[in-house]
């Protein structure tokens, strides 16, 4: 497994896609920081390190869709190029292939997230005025990351299952978006039209929980719920994805 992980890391980190994607996101962060600094320089006292840095908590929900990019970087059209078929034919255990790619895509996601959050917060610290609420900003960011981390893992598991089980990469991405972003809306409508139980189920979906996270700040029970639901989704999606992949014919 160690050799497989090393090989997968070598393949993804020598490609340009991860770095170009990260560069684009960092450029967008730079635009946001520039806007915050400009607002502050114009005399808006409401724009401070606290107000800008705590935007991190509200942007954590975007991380649920990041696996659509990182899983694609690792999976990299393997059905189309027959590389997955070659790995199976070479005799590599399917469990090793599945879990290895899931682990590497998760690693790429977490490294990118760490760089993006660190550079944004550092930019806020350097460019914007400080106050008594600085410590509160770090506390809110820490709470948000602690709750978002397991939910991101759950989304990663769901997305990787889509890429393994759907032959067309573009279609796999659409299925992932549907499961993560569209299904909650469907459950919301079902809850309004038929039974409130659908709304209760919707509240436990990762994208919905991530959106609620800033408003549930410092509530330990909600943090525990995030971990329970995120890890449960990761485990269930991995078991289902791996079980189906084990029996899937690779053409």
CA nearest 155: which of 240, 67, 71? 67
Q: Is the pLDDT of residue 78 over 80?
A: no
Tell me what pLDDT residue 80 has.
67
Among 36-40, 42-46, 240-244, the range of highest mean pLDDT: 240-244
Q: Is the pLDDT of residue 45 over 80?
A: no
- Alpha-helical (H) ranges within 128-219 are 134-165, 169-177, 183-193, 197-202, 206-212
Q: Residue 172: which residues within 8 A CB-CB, separation 6 or more?
A: 162, 163, 165, 166
Which tokens hold the place of 49? 């390190």
Tell me what pLDDT residue 50 has.
93
Query: Residue 89: which pLDDT band, with cuts at 50, 70 and 90?
Result: confident
Q: Which DSSP category does 28 fall into?
A: H
Q: What whole-number distance in Å separates Cα of residue 113 and Cα of residue 127?
A: 21
| Pair 201, 187: CB distance under 8 Å | yes
Tell me what pLDDT residue 88 has.
79
Tell me what pLDDT residue 169 has.
86
Q: Is the pLDDT of residue 251 over 80?
A: no
| Pair 109, 152: CB distance under 8 Å | yes
Q: pLDDT per residue over 1-22, tens digit each?
A: 888 888 889 888 898 989 999 9
If DSSP codes are grouped into helix, strand and coil, which group holds residue 128?
A: coil
Select the more confidently predicted residue: 79 or 34: 34
Tell me what pLDDT residue 76 has.
75
Q: Is the pLDDT of residue 210 over 70?
A: yes
Q: Is the full-model pTM beyond 0.95?
A: no
If DSSP codes are grouped into helix, strand and coil, which group holds residue 203?
A: coil
């Amino acid at each position: 497994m160690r050799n497989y992980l090393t090989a997968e890391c070598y393949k993804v980190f020598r490609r340009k896609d991860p770095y170009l994607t990260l560069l684009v996101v960092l450029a967008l962060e730079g635009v946001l920081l520039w806007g915050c600094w400009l607002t502050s320089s114009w005399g808006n006292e409401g724009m401070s390190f606290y107000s800008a840095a705590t935007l991190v908590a509200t942007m954590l929900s975007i991380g649920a869709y990041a696996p659509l990019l990182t899983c694609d970087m690792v999976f990299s059209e393997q059905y189309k190029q027959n590389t997955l078929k070659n790995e199976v034919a070479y005799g590599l255990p399917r469990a090793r292939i599945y879990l290895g790619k899931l682990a590497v895509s998760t690693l790429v996601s977490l490294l990118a997230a760490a760089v993006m959050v660190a550079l944004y917060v550092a930019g806020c610290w350097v460019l914007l005025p400080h106050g008594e609420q600085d410590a509160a900003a770090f506390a809110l960011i820490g709470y948000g990351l602690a709750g978002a981390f397991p939910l991101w893992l759950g989304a990663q598991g769901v997305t990787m299952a889509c890429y393994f089980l759907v032959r067309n990469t573009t279609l796999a991405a659409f299925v992932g978006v549907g499961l993560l972003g569209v299904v909650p809306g469907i459950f919301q409508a079902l809850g309004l039209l038929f039974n409130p139980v659908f709304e209760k189920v919707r509240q436990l979906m990762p994208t919905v929980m991530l959106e609620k996270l800033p408003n549930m700040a410092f509530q330990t029970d909600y943090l525990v719920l995030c971990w329970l639901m995120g890890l449960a989704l990761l485990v269930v999606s991995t078991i289902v994805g791996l079980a189906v992949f084990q029996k899937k014919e690779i053409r």
